[in-house]
């Protein structure tokens, strides 16, 4: 008679083997676990853009590799994961040397633990313990709307795609922005927090702003020190060149005795150190580029004339119909665009059918993904989102991938929200044109900032689930996928049949044993 191993005993061997294998892989020498190498080990680690709803971590790896962050509020369950900012935009996983990873949708005034990841899930902590960060407290009023933006170029004059711009101000948490493929970058200063995370930072035009640019090579850097008033926009920065700019002056070579690259404790940018796991102090901010609108302040302005006896003001004898502009045209790259509403409509043109990511840098950061229609047109209605932009200067950046060439295209337009512009174009007009620079004081921004306080977290938390109202039927997002649905159905049928077959074999074995 042929000897057979009873079914129960066989199952017992399988269960025991499974348990032993899991324990061996979890606590053993890691033979089958992904291993870190010098090429994929993070260094030059910096913490920036800490707000009440998120933070950014940037780091460098010697070799190009995917990068990600795992984070959580419980030290023992760090499971949530997010990838590089470029991967979040494209929906694919890319390999980079310089990584810029932003975590969004977090709770205010909350401590989070996180570890860095590269390659095939290899993780890195802070000398045996997770890195820690505490989000900023919610409340208070931000500074008047200001956005620092500009372009970074290589020594050959081409866009410095993939480098990072870091911005520091005295008493303000550090901010950063990833440079786009067009070479453009933007950092909304209205999002700046105090370096201790207790509230919004107060930023004045005369404050000294230090910009430190880290290239994709550790030794390739630039430093620029300018007044905040000269940062909208910042003159083009060339990698490898440093300078100091005073108000209304050209770039000057830095004094050899002026240590521009000093420690963060002195409220200026410091170059990356060679320490692999450097945990920085609490910092803050957020990111983007260069945009535009139809000029709405051309009528009824600048009526003063020195030839008329030096009068400061002249009354207009003819009534001029107020010009009310509510549309921002991203394809209209003029010197300036002004809208007279705090909930404008943003329009633009991309490749037909392309997915377009739009980012509006305001007190409340707005990010939306749209699909261009058959003619390439797309529309973002801020009013439909029930959001408002505070008065002052803003930028809007849109990014899409050209389906024909696969090239990522990014453009940034600057515009101004001026609710009083429609009443300033008729009647009495001052000799000095209104609307240049930022005419709004910090107190002017208080009301609108408080009104959007609760909306700030809503946008960040619901970023992945919201979509703007498209312009045409062809631009309406289509949910579901026939191919995916059929694959799931066939997969379900396969598993049902496999389960039935397994059950049949099990019953036959039991019958034979009897």
Single out the residue of 264, 278, 283, 272 nearest to residue 125, CA to CA: 278
The kind and range of the H/E element at 47 are strand 43-48
In this structure, the answer to whether residues 243 and 102 fall within a common structural domain is yes
Of residues 439 and 104, more confidence is placed in 104
In this structure, the answer to whether residues 2 and 81 fall within a common structural domain is no
In this structure, the answer to whether residues 374 and 450 fall within a common structural domain is yes
Q: Reply yes or no on whether the pLDDT at 228 is more than 80.
A: yes
**298: in domain:** no
**295: in domain:** no
How confident is the model over 469-478, as a mean pLDDT? 47
In this structure, the answer to whether residues 313 and 283 fall within a common structural domain is no
**466: in domain:** yes
In this structure, the answer to whether residues 20 and 77 fall within a common structural domain is no
Of residues 197 and 13, more confidence is placed in 197
**138: in domain:** yes
Which pLDDT score, from 0 to 100, does residue 425 have?
Answer: 37
Which pLDDT score, from 0 to 100, does residue 47 have?
Answer: 97
* Confidence band of 13 (pLDDT split at 50, 70, 90): low
Q: Cα–Cα distances in Å, from 375 out to 300, 356, 398?
A: 37, 14, 17
Task: Check whether the bond before 108 is cis (ω within 30° of 0).
Answer: no
**492: in domain:** yes
In this structure, the answer to whether residues 488 and 468 fall within a common structural domain is no
End residue of a domain, out of 287, 315, 349: 287
The percentage of the chain sitting over the pLDDT mark of 70, rounded to a whole number, equals 61
The mean pLDDT value of the chain amounts to 71
Of residues 296 and 158, more confidence is placed in 158
Give per-residue pLDDT as tens, 314-323. 333 443 444 4
Q: Reply yes or no on whether the pLDDT at 174 is more than 70.
A: yes
Tokens of 215: 């290239």
Give per-residue pLDDT as tens, 425-457. 333 333 333 333 343 333 343 333 333 443 333
Give per-residue pLDDT as tens, 48-98. 999 999 999 999 999 999 999 999 999 888 989 999 999 998 889 999 999
How confident is the model over 303-312, as a mean pLDDT? 36
By DSSP bridging, strand 392-401 and strand 355-361 are antiparallel
Give per-residue pLDDT as tens, 146-156. 889 999 999 99
Of residues 268 and 106, more confidence is placed in 106
Name the phi and psi angles at 479, rounded to 5: -90, 155
The Cα 222–Cα 215 span in angstroms is 8
In this structure, the answer to whether residues 497 and 461 fall within a common structural domain is no
How confident is the model over 142-165, as a mean pLDDT? 90
Residue 364 sits in a domain whose CATH number is 2.60.40.10
Q: Cα–Cα distances in Å, from 184 out to 16, 59, 152, 239?
A: 58, 20, 6, 13
**395: in domain:** yes
Residue with tokens 């700030």: 456
**282: in domain:** yes
In this structure, the answer to whether residues 152 and 219 fall within a common structural domain is yes
In this structure, the answer to whether residues 11 and 60 fall within a common structural domain is no
The count of domains in the chain is 4
* Confidence band of 362 (pLDDT split at 50, 70, 90): low
Residue range of the domain that includes 103: 41-287
Whether residue 283 contacts residue 49, with contact meaning beta carbons closer than 8 Å, is answered with yes
The Cα 510–Cα 485 span in angstroms is 38
Q: Reply yes or no on whether the pLDDT at 251 is more than 60.
A: no
How confident is the model over 273-296, as a mean pLDDT? 36
The Cα 177–Cα 212 span in angstroms is 11
* Confidence band of 411 (pLDDT split at 50, 70, 90): confident
Which pLDDT score, from 0 to 100, does residue 23 have?
Answer: 56
How confident is the model over 377-403, as a mean pLDDT? 81
The Cα 201–Cα 197 span in angstroms is 9
Give me the helix-helix angle, 482-513 and 7-27, nearest 10°.
Answer: 130
**292: in domain:** no
In this structure, the answer to whether residues 470 and 486 fall within a common structural domain is no
The Cα 159–Cα 181 span in angstroms is 7
Give per-residue pLDDT as tens, 315-344. 334 434 444 567 777 776 655 677 778 788
In this structure, the answer to whether residues 354 and 493 fall within a common structural domain is no
Q: Reply yes or no on whether the pLDDT at 496 is more than 70.
A: yes
Q: Supply the pTM of this predicted model.
A: 0.51
In this structure, the answer to whether residues 423 and 497 fall within a common structural domain is no
Q: Reply yes or no on whether the pLDDT at 294 is more than 90.
A: no
């Amino acid at each position: 008679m042929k000897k057979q191993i009873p079914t129960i005993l066989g199952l017992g061997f399988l269960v025991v083997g499974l348990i032993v294998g899991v324990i061996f892989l979890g606590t053993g020498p890691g033979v089958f676990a992904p291993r870190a190498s010098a090429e994929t080990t993070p260094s030059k680690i910096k913490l920036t853009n800490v707000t009440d709803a998120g933070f950014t971590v940037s780091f460098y790896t010697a070799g190009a590799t995917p990068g990600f962050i795992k984070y959580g509020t419980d030290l023992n369950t760090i499971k949530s994961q997010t990838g590089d900012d470029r991967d979040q935009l494209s929906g694919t996983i890319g390999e980079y040397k310089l990584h810029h990873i932003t975590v969004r949708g977090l709770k205010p005034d909350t401590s989070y633990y996180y570890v860095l990841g590269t390659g095939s899930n290899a993780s890195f902590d802070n000398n045996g313990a997770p890195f820690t960060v505490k989000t900023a407290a919610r409340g208070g009023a931000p500074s008047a709307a200001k956005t620092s933006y500009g372009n970074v170029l290589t020594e050959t004059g081409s866009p410095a795609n993939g480098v990072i711009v870091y911005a520091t101000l005295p008493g303000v948490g550090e901010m950063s922005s990833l440079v786009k493929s067009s070479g453009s970058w933007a950092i909304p200063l209205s999002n700046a927090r105090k370096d201790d995370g207790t509230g919004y930072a107060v930023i004045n035009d005369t404050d000294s702003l230090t910009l430190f640019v880290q290239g994709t090579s550790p030794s390739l850097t630039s430093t620029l020190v300018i007044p905040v008033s000269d940062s909208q926009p910042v003159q083009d920065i060339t990698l490898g060149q440093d300078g100091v700019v005073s108000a209304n002056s050209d770039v000057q070579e830095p004094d050899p005795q002026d240590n521009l690259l000093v420690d963060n404790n002195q409220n200026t940018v410091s170059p990356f150190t060679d320490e692999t796991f450097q945990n920085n102090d609490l910092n803050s901010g957020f990111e983007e580029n260069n945009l535009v609108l139809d000029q709405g302040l051309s009528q009824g302005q600048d009526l003063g004339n020195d030839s008329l006896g030096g009068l400061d003001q002249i009354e207009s004898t003819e009534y001029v119909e107020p010009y009310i502009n509510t549309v921002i045209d991203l394809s209209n790259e003029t010197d300036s665009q002004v809208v007279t509403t705090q909930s404008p409509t943003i329009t633009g043109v991309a490749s037909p059918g392309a997915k377009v990511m739009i980012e509006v840098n305001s007190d409340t950061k707005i990010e939306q993904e749209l699909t261009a229609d058959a003619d390439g047109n797309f529309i973002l209605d801020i009013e439909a989102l029930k959001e408002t932009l505070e008065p002052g200067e803003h930028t809007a950046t849109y990014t899409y991938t050209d389906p024909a060439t696969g090239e990522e295209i990014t453009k940034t337009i600057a515009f101004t929200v001026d609710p009083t512009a429609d009443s300033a174009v008729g009647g009495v007009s001052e000799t000095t044109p209104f609307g240049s620079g930022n005419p709004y004081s910090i107190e002017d921004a208080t009301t609108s900032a408080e009104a959007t306080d609760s909306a700030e977290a809503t946008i960040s938390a619901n970023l992945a689930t919201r979509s703007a109202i498209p312009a045409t039927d062809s631009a309406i997002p289509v949910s579901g996928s026939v191919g995916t649905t059929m694959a799931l159905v066939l997969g379900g049928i396969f598993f049902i049949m496999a389960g039935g077959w397994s059950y049949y074999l099990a019953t036959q074995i039991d019958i034979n044993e009897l």
